[in-house]
Structure 1
Amino acid sequence: MNLFAKLQERAAMGNPIRVGMIGAGKFGTMFLSQALRLKGIHIVGVVDLNPGTAKSNMKLVGWEGEAYSAASLNAGAASGATFVGDDWQALIAHPAVEIIIECTGNTIAAVTHALTAFQNGKHVINVTVEADAFVGPGLADRAREAGVIYSMAYGDQPALASDLVDWARACGFSVVAAGRGHKWMPHYRQSTPDTVWDHWGLTREQAERGRLNPKIFNALLDGSKPAIESAAIANVCGLDAPADGLVFPSGGIDDVPNLARARAEGGVLDHKGMVDFISCLTPDGAQIPHDIRKGVWVCFEGDTEYLRNCFEEYKVVTDDRGRYRCNYKRWHLIGLELGISVASVGLRGEPTGAAQDFRADVAAVTKRNLKKGEILDGEGGYSVAGGLRPASLSLEGGYVPLGLAHNVTLIRDVPEGQPITWNDIKADTNTDAYRLRREVETRFSKTAAA
């Protein structure tokens, strides 16, 4: 509870946490807006494929020109200003940089950036949760081997949900389920970048004003991002994934204790200790009051009579039996909250979430009948969506993770609603992401066999 005080101490000592950021899109820009207010953090460099866009975004959120006009990384490190460029390798290699923030949103590039950072002795905060979903355990292992920290990004829901799970367990409660909210109808699964704003609740003009990427937001809508974030939560917290994918039961915040319990007790879970998402819409599409669409929750158990009596005495909302209750954070602020991760890693040496196991995976599932020769366009696109599966089933079925289902060619037809398998595609095997994924598969296949 004293991160801000510790940041102030670092600022007063003239020794801020020195950070390098790769990617200056929406998430990165949100953090840049807050970094101006955090004197204990110095962004030495920002690199982007288009440095001009990065500078434009920095100006948009209030940066003065001299603050991002350092002529080089050396100049930025010496002066306290920020260098903006396009050479990510130079940024990672620079000795002044302690932490790399990876927020490109490009799964293939993110893995390479993280592994290169580890090799250079840098901590990594990975905003690109899509990469964490399919190689998170591998990235965490590589970081440990290098003696550095790998962390999910606070502000994104997986880290926030994992924080709630940690809170519950540190209080001594047994966690029954965890997840977040979502706006969900089954037909959203077929949504494309052309239809996303109609479902999302924004006009095209509003989306353009916010410089919002329709493909990224479509991934939120079509179930891909919920699957990705659920996998990340499961692998950090040791929770299980539903065998047939997320259930998306309808409910508001106060409905969570009734919903997030086992079916045998009137809920929707296969068993205790799972992840799922709560939809803010009724099955006929009506908005549910006091929803948790933008937030996260943990459901925990009063497994003794004394605990249940305490729930009753303090008038907390429980399920209809008085046994289960939830704690929640109704809103998440995305990149505006990323300073928590920077401070936690830089000051305490602690990640804000890192995969400990491989419990859940995100398979690429077809949105329509696909033909041999078609090129998959990955997360949020026109061809596939992400489907959450237990990692054991995914490995057994040879499912291609959504993060590697981009710009690869089908070598045979695949009907609608089916997971893509390695036998269905011509995979690009010459990437760090592919090689690390195969390492993860080999390691956990052997673990399961043992």
Structure 2
Amino acid sequence: MNYTTLFHDMHSVAKVGIIGSNGGFGYSFLAQVPLMKDSLELQVICDLNIQESIELLKKLQYDETRFRSCNSKDEIEQALQIPGSIIILEDGELLPFCNIDVLVEATGNPEISSCMAEKCLQYGIHVCMVSKEADCVSGPYLYRLAKQKNVVYAIAAGDQPANLIEFLSWVKSLGLEVIAAGKSSEYDYIYNLDTGLFSYQGEEVVLPELKDHWSLNGVNTLEDRSRILKDFPQFAVPDYCEMNVVSNATGLEPSCNRFHYPICRVEELADIYIPVEDGGVLTKTGVVDVFNNLRRPDEASFAGGVFVIVRCHDERVWSLLREKGHVVSRNGKYACMYLPYHFMGVEAPISVINAFRLGLSTYDACDCHAVMTAIAERDFARGEQMDLRGHHRLIDDVYVQLLSGEDAQDNAAPYYLIAGKRLKQDVKKGELITLEMLDLQGSELYRMYQEGQHNE
């Protein structure tokens, strides 16, 4: 696909609004917009802290004489009379009145994200969703709403779900059979074979034993690596969320409830994510999963990259590709294709342009194929509020599973629907958190989740 050719006869500029601009994704997107004046124009930025938004734009060298802080429809109308105005809002309810073509939603708050997306879609505004926490709950509903309104609902390129969904569409278009697909977890495991020094997110420890398990010798090697590195995180909640999004978009099922999370090197993937009868870890195919990338300090990162395992359809073809350095399994039956990157807001504008100029979404379908469930890790008391915290949007003292829609209980509460809700009853350690346990009165996210579960 050649983007220059694709957009050759289309010169209209998309007026863009962004909500939730102060995170890494929002910042990197706003830094990109001035580089794309032929395609994008920032029309509105919305955040709870107007002054912080102003300082952010100034830091990115936007012209502050264009800034217009607005708190009402009348003020917005006045600002729109001045060419080149950048409207700065605190109230997201005013977004549909800002004459934007596309909303980039990046708050990370499932309830707010979903409501803002719904409102803009109803007003005929395309939506590029960055907040995967919302999409894995309300995505099916929002996708269908967009189709009804003849606009686009998409997840933004630059995060792993969109990148993997796009990559899978390429693989499937080539007629290749998908055995498994997934991503690496966010941070690499780095090991120096000479010194035995292991590092993870700045933490370092000498682990000479790991050197003995550097080369893959079946699933036992994976078990040994996991044991040696037991004091380091081997799973992350955002991974389940992202694979939930991919499952809903593609129909690929979770490989197992908690994923396999092998600690492995990229060149080992085609020997791991294959059926157990061929020496791998999979009990079924056509699945999503996540691995922890193990590499030397002098090797490039795969953190946040995506991969697809395919079945080799012709021995000679894939032998040729193996000779060129591509990752083919030892038995020659499977191969790994991968993209070792995600560039966040730097590449997100492509999703905006595709939506505005071509009417194209990341999705070609979206349904509730998987549910990210939550199980209590301690006793909870009635009345406790299940708040999200931190950059990775976690709920304390619960652990997650990703189940196929068929395997999940009908009343299982999606993890990010739980966020911000109060418990209507006590919950015992080890219990699955269900819809009946939550005070869902007035939750628009719950309404969207319910409507999204009904097939078209």
| Common topology (TM > 0.5) | yes
Which residue does 2:35 correspond to in 1? 37
Which residue does 2:417 correspond to in 1? 404
Which residue does 1:270 correspond to in 2? 283
- List aligned pairs for 1:218-237, cutoff 5 A: 223-237=236-250
Alpha-carbon separation, structure 2, partners of 1:405 and 1:158? 22
Alpha-carbon separation, structure 2, partners of 1:66 and 1:47? 18
Alpha-carbon separation, structure 1, partners of 2:80 and 2:307? 41
Q: Aligned in 2, Cα 1:143/1:57: closer, same or farther, shift over 3 Å? A: same
In the alignment, is the contact (CA less than 8 A) between 2:165 and 2:250 conserved in 1? Answer: yes
Residues 262-295 of structure 1: CA distance to partner in whole angstroms, max 9, x if unpaired?
222222222111000011259xxx9996552221
- List aligned pairs for 1:31-430, cutoff 5 A: 31-39=29-37, 40-69=39-68, 73-74=76-77, 75-76=79-80, 79-94=83-98, 96-182=99-185, 200-201=201-202, 223-280=236-293, 292-312=302-322, 314-353=324-363, 355-378=365-388, 379-396=393-410, 398-423=411-436, 425-430=437-442
Q: 2:448 aligns with which of 436, 439, 442?
A: 436
Q: Aligned in 2, Cα 1:30/1:336: closer, same or farther, shift over 3 Å? A: same
Residue identity opposite 1:426 in structure 2: L
Q: Aligned in 2, Cα 1:312/1:85: closer, same or farther, shift over 3 Å? A: closer
Q: Aligned in 2, Cα 1:139/1:201: closer, same or farther, shift over 3 Å? A: farther
Which residue does 1:190 correspond to in 2? none
Alpha-carbon separation, structure 2, partners of 1:199 and 1:381? 23
Shift of residue 359, structure 1, vs aligned partner: 1.6
Which blocks of at least 5 consecutive residues in structure 1 are unaligned?
Answer: 186-197, 203-219
In the alignment, is the contact (CA less than 8 A) between 1:129 and 1:228 conserved in 2? Answer: yes
Q: Aligned in 2, Cα 1:315/1:288: closer, same or farther, shift over 3 Å? A: closer
In the alignment, is the contact (CA less than 8 A) between 1:45 and 1:76 conserved in 2? Answer: no
Shift of residue 184, structure 1, vs aligned partner: 8.0
Higher Cα radius of gyration: 2
Shift of residue 130, structure 1, vs aligned partner: 0.9
Shift of residue 131, structure 1, vs aligned partner: 1.2
Could you tell which deviates more after superposition, 68-77 or 354-363?
68-77
Question: Taking every aligned residue pair, what percent have the same amino acid on both sides?
Answer: 26
Which residue does 2:225 correspond to in 1? none
Q: Aligned in 2, Cα 1:234/1:91: closer, same or farther, shift over 3 Å? A: same
In the alignment, is the contact (CA less than 8 A) between 2:234 and 2:261 conserved in 1? Answer: no
Q: Aligned in 2, Cα 1:18/1:3: closer, same or farther, shift over 3 Å? A: farther
Q: Aligned in 2, Cα 1:184/1:363: closer, same or farther, shift over 3 Å? A: farther
Alignment size in residue pairs: 407
In the alignment, is the contact (CA less than 8 A) between 2:163 and 2:306 conserved in 1? Answer: yes
Residue identity opposite 2:289 in structure 1: D
Shift of residue 244, structure 1, vs aligned partner: 2.1
Alpha-carbon separation, structure 1, partners of 2:298 and 2:291? 11
In the alignment, is the contact (CA less than 8 A) between 1:46 and 1:83 conserved in 2? Answer: yes
Alpha-carbon separation, structure 2, partners of 1:354 and 1:77? 38
- Secondary structure of residue in 2 paired with 1:79: coil
In the alignment, is the contact (CA less than 8 A) between 2:418 and 2:438 conserved in 1? Answer: no
Residue identity opposite 2:18 in structure 1: M
Which blocks of at least 5 consecutive residues in structure 2 are unaligned?
Answer: 189-198, 204-232
In the alignment, is the contact (CA less than 8 A) between 2:113 and 2:131 conserved in 1? Answer: yes
In the alignment, is the contact (CA less than 8 A) between 1:6 and 1:347 conserved in 2? Answer: no
Q: CA RMSD in A?
A: 3.0
Q: Aligned in 2, Cα 1:383/1:158: closer, same or farther, shift over 3 Å? A: same
Shift of residue 403, structure 1, vs aligned partner: 1.3
Shift of residue 70, structure 1, vs aligned partner: 7.5
Residues 64-100 of structure 1: CA distance to partner in whole angstroms, max 9, x if unpaired?
3234347754535752231112232332134x31111
- Secondary structure of residue in 2 paired with 1:388: strand
Alpha-carbon separation, structure 2, partners of 1:251 and 1:159? 24
Could you tell which deviates more after superposition, 150-159 or 385-394?
385-394
Residue identity opposite 2:42 in structure 1: I
- Secondary structure of residue in 1 paired with 2:175: coil
Shift of residue 408, structure 1, vs aligned partner: 2.3
> What TM-score comes out, normalization by structure 2 length?
0.81
Q: Where does structure 1 differ by over 6 angstroms across 4 or more consecutive aligned residues?
A: 5-9
- Secondary structure of residue in 2 paired with 1:311: helix
Alpha-carbon separation, structure 1, partners of 2:400 and 2:415? 6
Which residue does 1:207 correspond to in 2? none
Residue identity opposite 1:164 in structure 2: F
Shift of residue 32, structure 1, vs aligned partner: 0.4
Pick the structure with more helix per residue: 1
Q: Aligned in 2, Cα 1:81/1:436: closer, same or farther, shift over 3 Å? A: same
Residue identity opposite 1:175 in structure 2: V
In the alignment, is the contact (CA less than 8 A) between 1:150 and 1:354 conserved in 2? Answer: no
Shift of residue 146, structure 1, vs aligned partner: 1.3
